[in-house]
Structure 1
Amino acid sequence: MKIAFLTPEYPHPQVVSSAGIGTSIKNLVEALVKKNMKVTVFVYHQERNAILEEKGLTIHLIAKKPRRFFTWYFYRKQLQNYINAVVKTENISLLEAADWTGITAFMRLNIPLVIRFHGTDAYFCKLEHRKQKFKNFVLEKIALKKASAYISPTIFTKEETAKLFSLKPDKIKVVPNGIDLQNFKNETPTIFEAKTLLYVGTLIRKKGVLELAKIFNKIIEKEPLARLILIGSDTADVKTNTASTYKLMQDIFSDKAKEHTNYLGKIPYTEIVTHIKNAHVCIFPSFAETFGMVTVESMALQKPVINTNMGWASGIIDDGINGYLVHPTETKLYVESIIHLFNDENLCVKLGAAARRKAEHNFNIDTIANENINFYKNVISKS
């Protein structure tokens, strides 16, 4: 059995860019390769065509040919023809693709297609209470309806996506995203920079960063030595047509909060682990996610984490046991939870240890890879 992935991103020096989707796919790919499986990754929307060979892994970079009209359609047909040709020469058994904007719509593939719920545009529009472009919904629905089966990282994402697109729940397998726990070890969980808050993720409205600014304003009033570290790419804000979401955050920050905030921008992935270890508390007040890789990584590094109390997060954190769940708009409760952790080191250590156990039990990529393999085999056997 040889598996292929179709994705717009993948962490590799020769790939244009990558974020959470790419990281979760790479974690799985590396685990599959360790189990002696051959894997192919098709990365679209690249600047050039190239084939990269690595141990047990072949990466195809696929550039987009410019078209005068209907580029969205012809590029899908271009991808279809390319994939089908490689499927034949490499004897690939199954293709997994992401759901975002329905990249597989109008493709006629010669092997079973599994779509993993990284989050459709429709899903995020519903969570953010914003209107979706009709074309995006149509493309996503066509793509999803043509798939042989689906994988969802949480029960919440499964249920919401099934309702949005009228999918049969029994065709959706819930398998969480996983991490290589060997890469996320913290030998000194009691050593950290006191009263340091850490946020890792894109600076975008849907991730609750504007609420984070309000929260930190209150924190700095109660804890004058507190610090906030922000890591991630800045983005434009669609709602206000502002070029920088960080600029919107700065407009919210008090003068004291600005002095104690350090925005590092996008940094190498290896450096993020160090920042998580150094943090006192990790905070992710997002309004819209499907999973949240950095939450699991922080838990594995034995950090007390405060996440949103929305559906997907409850599949990761057990409130009060291995972290806290608080709605992003509940500023007062967020502040109280953070201050409580700042003033109780034993509680931080206790929550961190419980978080590590949860990560080991639920998000070990070795175990999760086996779940994926068994699911792939089942889909292939029924096709």
Structure 2
Amino acid sequence: MKVCYIISETDKAVFFEQTALHLKQQNLDVSYILINSTDGALHRFLVENGFTVYTFEAGSLLKSRKTILACKKLLKELAISHVHCHLASANWIGLWAAKLAGIPNRIYTRHSGKPLNLGWKERIIDKVQNRLATKIVAISKNIDELLAGQGISSGKRVLVHHGFELNRFANPDPEEVGRLNRQNNPGHQQPVIGVIARWMEWKGIHYTIDAFSELLKEKPDALLCLFGASENADYASGIRTKLSHLPERNYRVISFENNVFDLYQLFDVYVHVPVNPQCEAFGQTYVEALAAGIPSIFTLSGIAREFVVHEEHALVVPFRDSRAIYEAMIRLLDDETLCTKLKTNGVKRVNELFSFDAYIRQLQTVYSS
């Protein structure tokens, strides 16, 4: 068995790094093709850890013919038996290349949920990719249901939850926590409300900003930290408009932080509130926040639908409800007993469900079936 991972548009990704190391520990023959990711953190990590890595640059999907053919040639030269694709360009280029190369095992992981607006181009791309793949990995029941709705048979779909280095979240590095606090909260403001999400409308960040605005009336020294800021995202202007109504001292906008393991320790309360049940494909941040022991406010989208229980693991609020988010913030900030309960139960539950060892075992089953 020779497996080739094809990944696109990725700079830093702890999940892919840890997957690579765990597969290597299993003595699996794995190589990598990175598309539009040359010289990024993931590229450097793979090279430094002894993996064979090839890179391609590609334009739009409609102009990817040359890249597909080059990728096909490489896959044949490497005698690859399994191709596993992740993310949009990699799915399109990798699945076509694998099909043309006659590779019998063509797998892609579906990382995207149901968008608020699905265009005809996206529908066609989904249909083609689903036809090209021999197996499709659904990362949550949410995605499994989406694929079933697209007519994908149960024999072609396989449910595999993400794995996490849970112990690392539970054991933060004090020096790194100090660095992150100095960098992002130099004035030692309290309380700190945290968000880690791209600036997409479906992430619901604007509802959190409205809730935080209400919180400031009672806690004028509060700080809102928005990690994952992306000025070119589809809802950046809407979020900037919301932020313009807040005092500048009460919010921070941070595009990216490599150290996701210790980042959550900055927050007194964490908020992740996608706007409907289907838009979040998985939502790694649900698991990360609970693994880090941070009192959290969630809507039930993606993987949260499968395991998060209101007042057991987090406070669950209705979709698109800034008032409920505000009230949950106040409750968590004022009720230490509740926070202790949520932390204990949250850590326990994610350890039961999302270990990396379990994830790798499931992957090996996919590859051997």
How is 1:177-256 mapped onto 2 (pairs within 5 angstroms)?
177-186=162-171, 195-238=191-234, 245=236, 247-253=237-243, 255-256=245-246
Give the share of equivalent positions with the same residue, in percent.
17
Matched with 1:118 is: 111
Residue 124 of structure 1 aligns to a residue in which SS?
A: coil
Distance 1:265 1:187, change over 3 A: closer
Distance 1:292 1:238, change over 3 A: closer
Matched with 1:39 is: 30
Residue 371 (structure 1) aligned with residue 362 (structure 2)? yes
Gaps in structure 2 of 5+ consecutive residues: 175-180, 182-188
Residue type matched to 2:71 in 1? L
How is 1:271-290 mapped onto 2 (pairs within 5 angstroms)?
272-287=260-275, 288-290=279-281
Distance 1:139 1:254, change over 3 A: closer
How far, CA to CA, are the matches of 1:377 and 1:179 in structure 2? 23
Matched with 1:171 is: 156
Give the Å deviation of 1:176: 0.8
How far, CA to CA, are the matches of 2:62 and 2:240 in structure 1? 40
Residue 170 of structure 2 aligns to a residue in which SS?
A: coil
Q: Is the 8 A contact 2:200 2:234 kept in 1?
A: no
How is 1:1-383 mapped onto 2 (pairs within 5 angstroms)?
1-10=1-10, 17-18=11-12, 22-46=13-37, 53-55=47-49, 57-64=51-58, 70-86=62-78, 88=79, 92-98=80-86, 100=88, 102-103=91-92, 104=94, 106-107=96-97, 108-109=100-101, 110-119=103-112, 123-125=113-115, 128=116, 130-132=117-119, 134-163=120-149, 165-186=150-171, 195-238=191-234, 245=236, 247-253=237-243, 255-267=245-257, 269-270=258-259, 272-287=260-275, 288-378=279-369
Q: Is the 8 A contact 1:199 1:282 kept in 2?
A: yes
Q: How many residues align?
A: 345
**1:288-313 deviations in Å (ceiling 9; x for gaps):** 32111222111111112222223542
Distance 1:98 1:275, change over 3 A: closer
Q: Is the 8 A contact 2:37 2:55 kept in 1?
A: yes
Gaps in structure 1 of 5+ consecutive residues: 11-16, 240-244, 379-383
How far, CA to CA, are the matches of 2:349 and 2:170 in structure 1? 14
How far, CA to CA, are the matches of 1:266 and 1:106 in structure 2? 32
How far, CA to CA, are the matches of 1:70 and 1:274 in structure 2? 40
Residue 289 of structure 1 aligns to a residue in which SS?
A: coil
Give the Å deviation of 1:254: 6.7
Residue type matched to 1:113 in 2? R
TM-score normalised per structure 1: 0.80
Residue type matched to 2:264 in 1? I
